[in-house]
Chain A
């Protein structure tokens, strides 16, 4: 059987602020024989899905990326598009869904794109967590190091799980990350703030709001006995770390990407 292949859309933040997240993720996928090819050309997804009925223009960047993926899908023999950033995942998946429900919108958006071929809505957008979940048995077989002393509060953030129609797990009580960590022998605490908001972009212009929101998450994790918060989003990580460094008292928790834990267990 040929190995699984995925196209990969990194997005702006992974390439600028989260290169270590990408490096570890690609290493892990390589170990479970998943071939990943980065799109040779891609555009900004827009970070936030445009919610207005008459604001289709904001979908053009995301749609161009999906068209690029469609072209390279033929060359590479897969229609699956991997994302690491949950906001990229959210936006691309919602554009896909809305275009399939509103074919007229695809006609309108196609008017903006002179050079590109028409999108046939055939790209399947995936998040890294889904790929790890689907390969959990192979990951288990690669456990090389027993990780002791690490107690994790899994933190999912908002955009991987909301709105409901793009979620790959229960938005009220997701367990995907919990299951992956437990399967690798890592201790996980019950964490009711799994999908609390970190403050999102408030950290740019209204830091106090982001710090207060993130501090609630840090304090809850500490109160639950966790010493590590595992994240999948560069913005969640930035906000939680900003709150951590501005916190007067020692909370005894650190914030790391899920991929750091997985690669540590695999001895990478």
Chain B
């Protein structure tokens, strides 16, 4: 197992190999249409060791942790939790996905949205 993949398992505490590709996560995901790779395909990428491909998809960054896939996953793979691990692998390298100076109307955005986006998109 690659070092990156072992970090995914360590951060998330979840096991992508338990996934049998039923596609439930992608079926219930409210954000799937904005993703270049649906959730169950990202899990499949992890299973075959293609961690770089999983990390370069926009899936984890589009996911808003609504927990719908986590509730529904019949194998407790919990893609929404694994995506947090994928985000952290990037963020912990010092790469931020948000530039505050480019946020439009930052004054009018609800505080919870700013806190949320800072938590999920910056390290």
Contacts and interface: CB of A to CB of B under 8 A. Distances in A.
Interface of A: 11-13, 16-18, 44, 46-55, 58, 85, 87, 158-159, 162-164, 171, 196-197, 199-205, 207, 209, 213, 234-235, 238
Given A52-B85, A163-B67, A200-B113, 18 more contacts: A16-B110, A47-B116, A49-B65, A51-B84, A52-B12, A162-B67, A163-B70, A163-B71, A197-B64, A197-B66, A201-B114, A204-B113, A204-B117, A205-B121, A209-B62, A213-B31, A234-B110, A238-B110
A29 to B, nearest CB: 22
Contacts of A55: 11, 88
Given A197-B31, A213-B30, A51 B117 contact: no
Given A53-B11, A201-B64, A12 B120 contact: no
Given A47-B115, A205-B121, A162 B110 contact: no
A53 B71 contact: no
B112 A51 contact: no
Contacts of B109: 203-204, 238
Interface of B: 10-13, 30-31, 34, 62, 64-68, 70-71, 80-81, 84-85, 88, 98, 102-104, 106, 109-117, 119-121
A248 B85 CA distance: 39
Q: Is the interface of B mostly helix, strand, loop or mixed?
A: helix
Given A162-B66, A213-B30, A235-B110, A48 B85 contact: no
A213 B29 CA distance: 12
Contacts of B120: 48, 201
A12 B109 CA distance: 12
B113 A53 contact: no
Contacts of A205: 98, 102-103, 117, 121
A44 B64 CA distance: 19
Nearest to A87: B112
A48 B104 CA distance: 22
Contacts of A53: 10-13
Between A16, A197, A205, the greatest number of chain B beta carbons within 10 A of the residue's beta carbon is seen for A205
A209 B31 contact: yes
